[in-house]
Every structure is written in structure tokens, then in C-alpha cells.
Structure 1
Amino acid sequence: MKLKNTLGLAIGSLIAATSFGVLAQGQGAVEGELFYKKQYNDSVKHIEDGFNPGARIGYFLTDDLSLNLSYDKTNHTRSNDGTGNQKIKGDTGSLTAQYHFGQAGVDSLRPYVEGGFGHQSRGNVRADGHTGRDQSTLAIIGTGVKYYFTNNLYARAGVEADYAMDNGKWDYSALVGLGVNFGGNAGAAAPAPTPAPAPEPVPEPEAPVAQVVRVELDVKFDFDKATVKPNSYGDVKNLADFMAQYPATNVEVAGHTDSVGPDAYNQKLSQRRADAVKQVLVKDGVAPSRITSVGYGESRPVADNATEAGRAVNRRVEASVEAQAQ
């Protein structure tokens, strides 16, 4: 009578839980279950097969993958084969991961596979010449299926295999369970489709905006020299090609020196450098009337004249041209 009252209370609690109107299995769901399994023993000699009641709680990391903590009570009777008809009691705790297939919902089936580890303890074990508590670390694999009566109430049937790492033996069990889950997001009704917005009027195409294009020139010179070096011819040619593409453009080529030497000498040197670049531009096809060459001496440094590296940067001719491209 006590067992019937306990089962009635458990089933009543499970059914009441489904009246909460929450969602079925899915990411974030919590699952609780009571189960009963038949244990087929092989890892300890002279123990009859028995029935183990237990409970399990799980949490869904994704819609399909859950982590589960289980606990069941071992209740076996030793066979009367010369070792004594003793009652064997104990418990098993385990942590397993279950991967589910299919979708949760009313009248649906969800097969699953699982794997994990557990710890089993049995008391009053008399075998191989000793008595006392027998403890084993277990590797657990299993498979089964869940059937959903509602979005939240399900029954489970499955099989498990427990490998005792201590003695290399296997135990097997078949189980049935009844559980509920709540707090997940599977089985939720799909949101009503949002009506498509009315098409917006197509704006009139805008007139193309003129784009500014630009080319710059920076030619370096050796100390006290006004000769354009061959490695700068390509840069001067790029400027000439740009001006050929945009014939309305003009350019100023500006010559500069470092601070070594008298100001008057540097002024003339910078002019010779500017004129030298102008000559290369004319050779590349630019009309002389479109080119102005100006020498600025040492008045416009862009680097520190106190260092050799800075002075090398200051020995230069610069030019810049802009145009508007449609």
C-alpha cells in the first residue's frame, strides 16, 4: 500500500507539472525523471539480477544535447550457492550526456544515445574470500527513446551498459521512466508571419557626382645634385600620363634642398632641380606652358636637417595635380 501511495503521488506530481503551460524540451530546459531498471549483474559473482529505483535531473545545453545527473538504489539478493543468502544494498551516481534525435512535441518520439561515467558502491559483498563494501568506477553507454504524451510529460524506455573499470566486467540494465521538462524553447508556436511592408517609392536617380582624382610626385636627389635619377623616371611618367588624361590641368613642380650650404646657393640648386623635373615632363609629352617650376631653397623642410636621413628627405622636388572625373 505504501508503494502504491508513493507511485500515485509521483505520477500526480508529474501530471500537475504539465499544467504549467511551459514549453517542451529545448535549449535551457530542465528535465526531471523517476525511473526503474532491471540490473543484469556480471561484475560481482553470486549476485542475482535485481531491480533498481532511481531519479534523474538534466539540463539541455542545446535543443538536442543534455547533461544528466542520476542516482539509483542497488537492491540485490545474493544467490544461495555456498556464499550465503545475504541482502546486497548500495547505490550508484552518474553523470551522462544525452544526444537526442527528432523534435519534442505531443505524440512524438525522440530517440537518444548517451555516454558518461558513474560510481557504484555495494555493501555486504562476500566474494573471493572477503567481505565488505565493493566500489567501482563505471563507464556508461546507452540508448533509448522518449515518447511525449504532452509537450512536457514523457515516458522513456532504454538500455544501458556499465563497464567496471576496476575489474573489467560489464553489467547491463533495461529501464523505464516517467519525466517532465520545463523552461525550454522547443515546441513553441512559430510567430505569426509579419506582413510584408509596402514597397517604398523608388527615388529618382541622382545626377552623378564628380569625383576628385589626384596624383602626387616626390623625386629625391643626391647631395648637391640636380640630376633626376633613373629610378624616378617612372614616377614622373605617371604624372605626365595623368596630365595627358586631364588636359585642362596645370602643375607646379617645387624644388627644395637641405640646410647644408649658403641660402643663396641652395636657392639656385632648388631651382635647377625643379627645372630638371620639368624637362623630363616635357620629354614625356607635357606642354611646357602647363608646367611652372619654382625653387624654394631650404625654406620648406619636411624632416630634421640635423640628421643625414632627414637631409636626404629634404633634397626633393614635389608636385601635386587634381582633376574631376565623371
Structure 2
Amino acid sequence: MLKSKKIALAALALCASFSALAADEAINPSWYVQPSVSAFKPDGDFGVDKHGFGAGLKFGKAVSDNWDVQMGTTYARSRDNGERYQQNTFGVDGLYLFSRSAFRPFVLVGAGMEHDKANLNTLGQLSKNSPFLSAGLGFQASLNDQWAMQADLRDVHGFIRGNEFATSKSNNYYLTVGLNYAFSKPATRPVPVAPVVAPQPVAEVAPPPPAPVAPPPPPPARFEKVTMSATELFDFGSDKLHAGQPKLDDMAKFLNENASVEHVVVTGYADRLGSSKSNHALSLRRAEAVKAYLVGKGVAASRINTAGKGEEQPVVKCDNKKQKRAELIKCLEPNRRVEIEQITVERRVN
């Protein structure tokens, strides 16, 4: 049990070390298959104290942003001084992954049935089916869109039923390395495309009569979506507007001069650095800051709605893993933006 406690403490340390690595990247919902090989350290109570080897086959699937479920079977055996011990397991594991990036550390818990079989010089041949619980830690590392490596260290703690063996429990340790093959590739996120506003048709004007006529009224102002970089509005990670915002001043003037414009939507976006929850909250606070500025310039608050979409709809991805943090922040700059929909500030042309 002391070794089991050490694994649990190591799992907690792994949680603290890698919690900052969590990234809100898309998961692949496809089932995957995992063939594996193992180094096997059997419990000395079974009369065999020599390391052995094993193999396994499992099927797995990502069921949420942080959880994978894997199920399957393993086989391992060890020989020592003419005695032999082997174990078959069939069970289900739950993997809590701290990240969906290329490197994904995890802790695992599992349960199932084990078949222990021993051929001992003193007791002869013994065999028993028993339930087990397991715990461990490991990581997955992506090789491409469909292949990933998985390695883990786990303790399989069996509850031996009956009195065939000289013990009522087993603590066997497995160091396992496998390859995960996903049956389909992950879906590609579509890159948002700004809507194209068709030019308004120019009405044909009949030839003027001999008498002078009044000129036609100016065409109404067109409305589009305006995108402003968060860099020109805020400091990195901040929701406090910079002093002096001429573009927002122009928008406020336009709205005050066109009271018929309603349902203006101000949407904030963030990059993928940090947690999804904090990015969503920051993007919403930035949208609220822009709304407050326009309201402070005389625009009625009831005409403006706000939304925060966090890391959704990125303009760029920046997948170069060799980039330094400062370079990554610069590369992701287009994703940090504020969009004001259905408004464009332009002069009327007679």
C-alpha cells in the first residue's frame, strides 16, 4: 500500500505542475485502438519476485474536454527459480487529461476483473478470478492527426477471493507503452470569413424636365461590421481602455446622428493563451468597456448589446511549437479583437 500512496502523491504533484498547460483545443471524438507492451513487477507474495513482460489491447474514446475512457485486456507473466506467475486483466480506465495539446499528461483510475494463475513449487498450480482497482499516471504525445504515443505507470491492486493463494491481495506494477490509432481524423475548424456587403444598386434617374428640380436626397448610410484590434484598445490581458479613442469617438458621433440605428452588437474575442473560462470573461469585459465608452459619449445603452466569445472563431492559429511566448503573443494578436456589427462610419456623398 505504501507504493500505492506514492503513486497517488505523484499524481497530485502532476496535477499542480501541469494545470497551467490546459488548452481549449478541439478533441477528436473518434474511437481509437491501442496495442501496447508492458514491463511487469509482480507482487512478491505470489512466490515470484522477478520482473516480467506483457502485452495488451485496448479501445478508447475522448468523452469530454478532459476525460478519455479506455477498455480492454492485458496479459503479463514472470518466471523465477522454476516458478511461474501470470495475470490477465479485463477492465475500464478513466483518464483525466490536463491538456488537449500535443503533449497531454494525465492521471488514471480503473476497475475490472483479473485472473491470477501461479505454478509454485510448494503449492502447485493455483488459479483465481478476482476484482481489482488500479491507479496511475502517464502522458499522451501526438505524432500526427491519427497516431499518438501513450505511456503510463500504474498499480493494479487485486482483492483475492478465497484461500487458494497465501494472500488476500495483490499489488502488481505495470509500466506500459502503447500506440493509439484514431479511426478518423479530427474535424477541421472553419476559418470565419467576413461577410461581403453587396453594393447597393444605383437607381436610374429620368432626364430632368425643363424646369429645375430639386436634387435627389443623399443615399442612406451603409452598415457593416467594424473590427478593431484589441491591441489599439487595451493592454495585453487588460480590460481598461487606452486613453484617446478617435475611432470610438467617430462611432459615437455616427450613432448620435443616426438615432434609427438599433440593436448594435459589440463582441469581444481573445486568443487561446490561458484558460477558456478566463478568456471568455476577459472578452466580455472588453466588450462591456467599449459599450461604456459609447454610452459615455451620449449613445443610449438600450441600443447596444454585448457578447464575449473568448477563443471562438480565431483568425489565425499559430501552431509553430518553437515560438517563444512573446512571439506567440504577437502571432495571436489578430485573435484579440473587438467587433462592432452593422456599423460603419463613412461620409454621405450627394
TM-score (norm 2): 0.44
When Rg is computed on C-alpha atoms for both structures, the one with the higher figure is 1
TM-score (norm 1): 0.47
